[in-house]
Chain A
């Protein structure tokens, strides 16, 4: 555990992916590799999956609405119960993995960690890992909103079963994924074979780790591929660093429905304008905003303010001081459905101090 402040909290990794994509294969790989760690596993459809582990708990995926009637403030009632029970055996395992059904929306799982005090005090959401089927994801993105949600929500995406598709098809599927979620770490795998530290211990929900606001391109493993240039192309992406603008772009998809809006300002923001604006935005658009995160520079404030959100729930705090040589830019990313980009952009610009 690198982060001492939160080291007492047990990290929880959420594993999503449409039916048949390879979640169970990945799960069995995590459990069987000789890493010396112990995992408690919360699975759905208890007993139907052969998992060799002492600490397997069956879950019911009960998604509960909160009493305030807001349909995005849902929690996984069974997770509140199960995590509470598992915490009684704290010390018997190093981390928890929650496997969701193929049709599950990851949001209620994530929101459980923000909404429920007892869960949030003892455990922390580490990352949402989505396994995608290289051969079938394109089809699912057309006919299954759940599959698109899972891609949009992910911090880490495994494009699995790459051996079943051609290089061109693989490029296509990756570009599709990028069109929806340019901020996730994408890996290409066969039989979910991946170094486990790429999946576990990511700290993606840690406020101190909201660093990867640059879109993730084919940086690591693109050596045998052409680079797909995910250029938003509408003058709306201010995130392009100098090295990035000259990438050889080939294919680029915009998902017509689910996409990301990225905002940046080099002028300090006024917190008295920003917070009311962002609160109002997530109140009105929270249903469509799946994830958001940002690093902010406020006027007269020498510390970075970081925040993240899931639908209507926002969580933010001061992080470290800005470094001397660091550019004090404010950056925010929203990933969601049918986002009113122009309205968001104008609202954000109105927050400049």
Chain B
């Protein structure tokens, strides 16, 4: 694949390599500090031009993380939910009473933390609230206002008001196993990834269904472009972008296809300010792609292992990447 990108403009010279020493499963950027989530036990904090600091947060595998710019919330197979701030200070948010795996975590705009263990979804705000889903929770996503939590599960999703325990969750039905959930910045659509290589969506106002299919593989990574006009997704040999700007979202519209490759897109990460998507492929390649014209910039050459993590800083001036093989780095785009 290297050859096919030999003419592509490149920013690989701006990358600061990081020796992760272990497989990287996710990445976040807190301020100017890149944080690499390792498969087991630790977060790796890397400040600009600084040494990597290993912060142990779990006794076992780290199964899920979410970040809100000031802290990282992680869930582990030790049954713990842990919050780690930009200084690397950790705090246990919760310990599952049965020590079940914490499969998913999410952070509300107001700072409330949600997580799930098996069928149980929890939100810790002033009080701890619990919702028992009809099957194992596949994913969690807060609505932009934070008062409602979308819980994806088998045969649909539930919209839960954690602060109104007496109100029955609203059920959104669609057959099949829903494995993760996302809600656009305007809060109009809930989209889930499914066990099948497809997405499903609901327009929340009228529960109109959206079906987004045509993928080669299960979609495991997705994100909203700056402004929320597109939902960028993995699962194919190119970045698939579904248009969400119109009233009907992608209904009856074709997705935009960018950065075609012989290899599969594993991870996408949308630039926070511009309509640019970073895409990581299963051969280790990372490209930055402009949505408007599909222009590509080479960010990382193919390597030994699939890309597993990509994360932009809030100002869009740094991109952290990590691979299943433990290759990692921060690209300085300032």
Report A's interface with B, CB cutoff 8 A. Answer: 57-58, 60, 62, 64-69, 75, 77-78, 80-82, 85-90, 92, 115-118
Contact = CB atoms under 8 A, between A and B. Distances in A.
A116 B39 CA distance: 20
B60 interface: yes
A54 to B, nearest CB: 9
Given A62-B136, A81-B136, A85-B63, A67 B194 contact: yes
Contacts of B154: 62, 64, 77
Contact of A75 (B40, B60, B175, B195): B195
Nearest to A57: B101
Interface of B: 23, 25, 39-40, 60-63, 77, 100-101, 103, 118-119, 135-136, 154, 175-177, 179, 194-196, 198, 217-218, 220
Contacts of A80: 179, 195
A88 B101 CA distance: 13
Contact of B25 (A60, A67, A88): A88
A116 B194 CA distance: 11
Given A69-B175, A117-B217, 20 more contacts: A62-B135, A64-B154, A64-B176, A64-B177, A65-B175, A65-B176, A66-B196, A67-B176, A67-B196, A77-B195, A81-B103, A85-B61, A85-B63, A85-B101, A87-B39, A89-B61, A90-B39, A116-B195, A116-B218, A118-B218
Nearest to B216: A117
Nearest to B135: A62
Contact of A89 (B39, B100, B135, B198): B39
A110 to B, nearest CB: 16
A65 B154 CA distance: 9
Closest 3 A/B residue pairs (Cβ): A67-B176, A88-B39, A88-B61
Contacts of A57: 77, 101
A60 B135 CA distance: 9
B220 A118 contact: yes
A75 B218 CA distance: 14
Contacts of A87: 39
Contacts, number: 69
Contacts of B40: 88-89, 92
Contacts of A58: 100
A198 B223 CA distance: 47
The listed residue with most B CB atoms (<10 A of its CB), out of A66, A69, A86, A116, is A66
A86 B136 contact: no
A78 B195 CA distance: 12
Contacts of B198: 67
A89 B63 CA distance: 10
A199 to B, nearest CB: 26
Contact of A77 (B23, B135, B196, B220): B135
Nearest to B63: A85
Contacts of A60: 118-119, 136
Contacts of A89: 39-40, 60-61, 77
A7 to B, nearest CB: 16
17 contacts: A60-B119, A62-B136, A64-B154, A64-B176, A65-B176, A66-B195, A67-B175, A77-B135, A82-B101, A85-B61, A85-B103, A87-B39, A88-B61, A88-B62, A89-B40, A89-B77, A117-B218
Given A62-B154, A85-B61, A77 B176 contact: no
A51 to B, nearest CB: 15
A78 B175 CA distance: 17
Contacts of A88: 23, 25, 39-40, 61-63, 77
B254 to A, nearest CB: 21
A69 B154 CA distance: 14
A208 B176 CA distance: 33
Contacts of A75: 177, 195
Contact of B195 (A64, A69, A82, A86): A64
Contacts of B62: 88
B306 to A, nearest CB: 9
B255 to A, nearest CB: 19
A57 B217 CA distance: 27
A30 B25 CA distance: 31
Contacts of B101: 57, 82, 85
A118 B216 CA distance: 12
B283 to A, nearest CB: 14
Nearest to B25: A88
Nearest to A75: B195
B233 to A, nearest CB: 15
Contacts of B218: 116-118
